[in-house]
Amino acid sequence: MGVSARAWVFVTPVLLALAVVIGYPVVRALIMSFQKDSGLDKATGMFVEGGGAGFSNYTHWLLEQCTNSLGETVDCPTGNLGSQFWTAIGVTLLFTVVTVALEATIGLGMAVIMGKTFKGRALLRAAVLIPWAIPTAVTARLWEFMFQYDGVVNRLFGTHILWTADPWPARFAVIAADVWKTTPFMALLILAGLQVIPEDVYEAARVDGASAWQRFWNITMPLLKPALLVAVLFRTMDALRMYDLPAIMTQSNPATRTISMLVVDQVRQGPNSASALSVITFLLIFTVAFFLVKVLGANAVRTQEEQREAH
Amino acid sequence: MALKKVSSLRSTLVPRAVLAVTSAALLTATFASGCSSSSGGNGSTGENLTGRGPITYVEGKDTTETGAVKQLVERWNAAHPDEKVTFKEQSNDASQQYDDLKQHMQAKASDYDVVALDVPWTAEFAAKGWIQPLKDSFAIDTSTLLSPPVASATYNGTLYAAPRNTNGGLLFYRKDLTPEPPKTWAEMISMCPKAKEAGIGCYAGQLAPYEGLTVNTAEVINAFGGSFVGADGKTPTVNSPQAKAGLTTLVDAYKNGDIPKEGISFKEPESQNAFVTGKLMFMRGWPSSYGDAGSDASSVKDKFGVAPLPGKDGVGASTLGGYNAAISAFSKNKATALDFLRFLISEDAQHIVASGALPSVRASVYDDPALIAKMPYLPALKESIASAVPRPVTPFYPAVSKAIQDNAYAALTGSKSVDDAIAGMQKGIETAGS
């Protein structure tokens, strides 16, 4: 048996396994997304199979179109999940952009401090990790208590804000909790990047008379870029599929309903149009990931090559 | 490549391929049965009608102090040694119970014989052909039961389940502030200045955007004579002056501050906590709050009473809670299952149910002096349940509930007028299931 033939023998089971566990559900979801959910037969009051749906499950979401009891196509009314698609997309993107930006900035600051040598550094590093170690569900409950009407936050600031019920306060509360929870993760990834920057580069810069700001901007930032980009990519993916934090903290408050929450709500009402929504969500996340890797990632690689050339 | 090698290669590949194909097929089967949308009228309801033997009863965690469900099963098993019932305890969480039942039904699994359904699930399970209609030879006698629970188990004019226990809302009120409870909403609102004098909130229910908001909205709309869906479970009927009057009452009470500002973030625990710590004059709650309000830790221990919910001109319309017991269409021993349903609604069984503080579906149990001594809220609860209305009986309950919640919430928070919110509910019910 040739080497390549033997290689195929070893690889085939893995490929088959991958096809089954990854390919199959994806294809299945795609097929389901083109089928109608079962509907009620008026005469008997019993459910009947829906049959082919064409693109109607997709237009249901993208154009927010529903079918009423007469079979006419109308705009989805409030309360129908279809009417919440673009709001949910907006909320998800808002959460993603704001939380990732805040987490990257604060995380960078924390990493720079943790990277310095001082007494009690090990303790600080361990303490910083605590929010990350707490399960998200617990974090959500914790912040829900703090943001209650008679909770710590309102008492501390002497305010009377309905943090989990009013739209913008609720969004703010979710963002605050998410930043609290995941900044340590960012800080740790960035710290790892910081520590591989050789100390002699800084020494050389110091000798050349570079100020602290110049050293940070011209040495730390470019050399940190790959680590920072990986951290941002990870967090962006995570934030785009955010579910548990808003689901537990603000329940089904329409103002904080993310796209993942919409999928879960829809599964209860009709699996086929939920499949269409999952496909759309997948495409959205895939596009964002592709963009980040292609545009920013290529940039990161080039910086490394440039660095190597410079050495 | 030599022939021998080819054959050896084939002998290596074939078992793997077989394995892979088999596992793929298995997975396909599991997925398909788990995911495919099922259809009703699949004929299973006509099978195994005379089957007898051991059966499995499925219900969420038994949280009663007396272990009521276990007592019921033991009582039955002692009398029917050949047709023993096994109690399969699900999780405590209603949506997990629902998902578990749905998966078993979609797989047409015969291992669940009798299932306990939360009241609003009954219509969907019936319309999907998953539960046995209780007609003809399967008819059960419901004439001695309270009629609202029976209505909650009826879909399209056919009874599909035996009401196991019911539940109704109560108005908890502060006896020290108002000796007589209000009978109507108008009367209750007129008492609110007293609450203000005492420096506490006047009324609260469960108005956070979740199932509780549907319940509270439905109660006030039903109390003013409104309704949600017609008898077919699909035609919307909510766009009426009565429904608008009902919702207006609730929205005005919130806008005027008679319902405290934080009231729209209240679920059961928050509202109960506000009442128990003496921050509310009136609270809409379930009987389960009675124990906590009367406990030593409560600051209103001897200062509160319970009454039926207020209505427009008299007693209001509580939304019905509780569980119905239905026979799975895929059960192998349906004759035994039917006997078990008959047992569950019997006087004897309902006494066990009531002793476990699960409100009974039999009127007579509410007049038992021994039980009233233990649960002083029973007379008020009986009145509440007698005039209760089931939640919209529709196979699209999750969608209908969402339409009610989201629109009521928009009206409460002022982002929609009452008229728009009611029109939104109407349209939401029209498009439910699309």
- Enter the tokens of residue B101: 């039942």
pLDDT in tens, B157-166: 899 999 999 9
pLDDT of B13 > 70? The answer is: no
Coil, strand, or helix at residue A47?
strand
CB atoms closer than 10 angstroms to residue B27:
15
Q: What is the pLDDT of residue A289?
A: 87
Provide the token pair at B170: 């109560």
> How close, in Å, is residue B398 to chain A by CA atoms?
7
Q: Count the helix, strand and coil residues of chain A and give each as a percent rounded to the nearest 5.
A: 75, 5, 20
Contacts of A293 (CB under 8 A, 6+ apart): A233
Distance separating alpha carbons of residues A13 and A4, to the nearest angstrom: 15
Chain A residues lying within 8 Å of B424, measured CB to CB:
77-79
pLDDT band, very low/low/confident/very high, at B30 (cuts 50, 70, 90): very low
Q: Provide CB contacts within 8 A for A169, sequence distance 6+.
A: A161, A162, A163
CA distance A149 to A152: 9
First to last CA, chain A: 47
Q: Is the ipTM of this complex over 0.90?
A: no
**Residues of chain B contacting residue A45, judged by C-beta atoms under 8 Å apart:** 127, 155-156, 232-233, 395
pLDDT of residue B28: 36
Residues 31-90 of B with CB under 8 A from A: 31, 35, 37-41
Q: Give percent of chain A with pLDDT exceeding 70.
A: 95
B399 interface with A at CB cutoff 8 Å: yes
Interface test with B, best of A149, A150, A163, A168 (most B CBs within 10 A): A149
Residue B107, φ and ψ in degrees, nearest 5? -80, 0
Q: What are the φ and ψ backbone dihedral angles of B167, each rounded to 5 degrees?
A: -165, 145
- Cβ pair B31:A66 closer than 8 A: no
Give per-residue pLDDT as tens, B260-296. Answer: 999 998 999 899 999 999 999 999 999 989 999 999 9
What average pLDDT does the segment B298-327 reach? 94
Residue B219 CB neighbours (<10 A):
26
The predicted structure's pLDDT at residue B393: 87
Asked if the model's pLDDT at residue B12 lies above 70, the reply is no
* CA distances for B45 relative to A45, A50, A308, B127, B185, angstroms: 15, 22, 74, 12, 46
According to the model, what pLDDT value does residue A70 have? Answer: 77
Instruction: Please judge whether B129 and A46 are an interchain contact, meaning their C-beta atoms are less than 8 angstroms apart.
Output: yes
Mean predicted confidence (pLDDT) in A47-69: 88
Under 8 Å CB-to-CB from A240, ≥6 apart: which residues? A92, A96, A259, A284, A285, A288
Q: Which residues of B touch A151 (CB under 8 A)?
A: none
The reply to whether B13 touches chain A by the CB within 8 Å rule is: yes
Q: What is the mean pLDDT of residues A248-257?
A: 86
Under DSSP, the state recorded for B180 is S
- Confidence check: pLDDT of A305 > 70: no
Please check whether residue B144 touches A, CB under 8 A.
no
Could you tell me which of B352, B373, B374, B372 has the C-alpha nearest to residue B361?
B352
The rounded distance, in Å, linking the Cα atoms of B353 and A212 is 75
| Distance, CA of A40 to CA of A60 (rounded, Å) | 18
CA distance readout (Å), B103 to B110, B132, B269, B336? 12, 17, 30, 23
Task: Determine the residue among B10, B16, B37 to mutate to test chain A binding: the one whose Cβ has the most chain A Cβ atoms within 10 Å.
Answer: B37
Asked if B402's CB is within 8 angstroms of A80's CB, the reply is: yes
Mean residue pLDDT across chain B: 88
pLDDT at B174 over 80: yes
Contact A40 B402 (CB under 8 A): no
As a whole-number percent, the residues of chain B with pLDDT over 90 amount to 74
Mean pLDDT over residues A98-108, rounded? 95
Give residue-wise pLDDT tens across range A14-56: 999 998 998 898 899 999 999 998 888 877 888 888 888 889 9
User: Could you read off the pLDDT of B192-213 as tens digits, one per residue?
Assistant: 999 999 999 999 999 998 899 9
State pLDDT tens for residues B372-422. 999 999 999 999 999 899 888 888 998 899 999 999 999 999 989 999 999
* Contact status, residue B28 vs residue B20, Cβ threshold 8 Å: no
Q: Say yes or no to pLDDT of B334 above 60.
A: yes
Q: Provide, rounded to the nearest whole percent, the portion of chain A with pLDDT above 90.
A: 49
**CB-closest option in A45, A50, A78 to B127:** A45
pLDDT category at B254 given cuts 50, 70, 90 is very high
Looking at every residue in chain A, the average pLDDT score rounds to: 88
What CA–CA distance (Å, rounded) separates A236 from A97? 8
Q: Which sign does the torsion angle of CA B145, B72, B389, B403 carry?
A: negative
- Per-residue pLDDT at B344 exceeds 50: yes
Chain B neighbors of A82, CB-CB under 8 A: 431, 434
CB of B106 within 8 Å of a chain A CB? The answer is no
pLDDT (tens digit, 9 = 90+) per residue, A265-299?
Answer: 898 888 899 999 999 999 999 999 888 888 776 55
Q: Residue B19: is its pLDDT beyond 60? A: no
pLDDT at B3: 45
Within an 8 Å CB–CB cutoff, is residue B410 touching chain A?
yes
Contact (Cβ atoms closer than 8 angstroms) between residue B132 and residue B334: yes
The 10s digit of each residue's pLDDT in B34-45 is 343 344 445 678
The minimal CB distance from B35 to the residues A13, A40, A271 is found for A271
What is the per-residue pLDDT for A150?
84
What b/e readout covers A159-198, taking b as 16+ CB neighbours within 10 angstroms? eebbbbbbbebbbbbbbbbbbbbbbbbbbbbbbebbeebe
Q: Tally C-beta pairs within 8 A across A and B.
A: 172
- Minimal Cα distance from A40: which residue of B? B127
pLDDT in tens, A211-250: 989 998 898 888 998 888 888 988 999 999 999 999 999 8
Tell me how far apart the alpha carbons of residues B100 and B104 are, in angstroms, rounded to a whole number. 6
List the 326-345 stretch of B: residues with Cβ below 8 A of A: none
pLDDT at B77: 96
